[in-house]
Amino acid sequence: MSQVIQPVNGAGVKLELDGNGYATLIAATTYFFELPAELAVKPLQSFSAQWDAVIVMTSLSPQDTNIGDATSFADTLGAWLTQNPTTAYVPALGGVATQAVVAVAGGTAGGATWNLSLGSGRKRIKVIVGATGGKLRIFGSGIGMA
């Protein structure tokens, strides 16, 4: 079963979600959507993002860590690492996937899905909003024996 992920901004402030699970993100800001611990320990994890036609996002990047004291909003070098293998395939509609990183120019509502098989204990999607904010929601799931 998937669940909506509540994002935090770079200061660690949790954003409110509307009735459909969307967060309103503001321009030129970085946000983090961490997979809940009970899902992150599963052998297979998945993130699905859906955005409105207004938002511009420089990047949506899958990241992981095993550092237990790294905050979900840490942007310290080496705490969280972007997973962007050359063989990555991320289906995206209304955005452009370059390996595992997705960029959204705006003007088209859309979505993307990352299917991961990472052994690390924590996973998140780092979102960098460009010149125009808008609405985004990300669902996460984990399956298999932990």
Q: How many CA atoms lie within 13 A of 133 on its CB side?
A: 10
The rounded distance, in Å, linking the Cα atoms of 36 and 20 is 19
How large is the average pLDDT for residues 108-115? 97
Query: Comparing C-alpha atoms, which of 129, 138, 139 is closest to residue 106?
Result: 129
The rounded distance, in Å, linking the Cα atoms of 82 and 101 is 9
At residue 146, does pLDDT exceed 80?
no
The answer to whether the CB of 40 falls within 8 A of the CB of 19 is no
Share the mean pLDDT of the chain: 94
Give pLDDT, residue 117: 84
Q: Give tens-digit pLDDT for 8-40.
A: 999 999 999 999 999 999 999 999 999 998 888
Q: Which domains does the chain have, with CATH numbers?
A: 3-143 (2.60.120)
At residue 145, does pLDDT exceed 70?
no
Burial 81-96 (b: 16+ CB within 10 A, else e): eebeeeebebebebbe
At residue 1, does pLDDT exceed 80?
no
Amino acid residing at 80 = W
Confidence of residue 96 (pLDDT cuts 50, 70, 90): very high
How large is the average pLDDT for residues 67-95? 94
Confidence of residue 41 (pLDDT cuts 50, 70, 90): confident
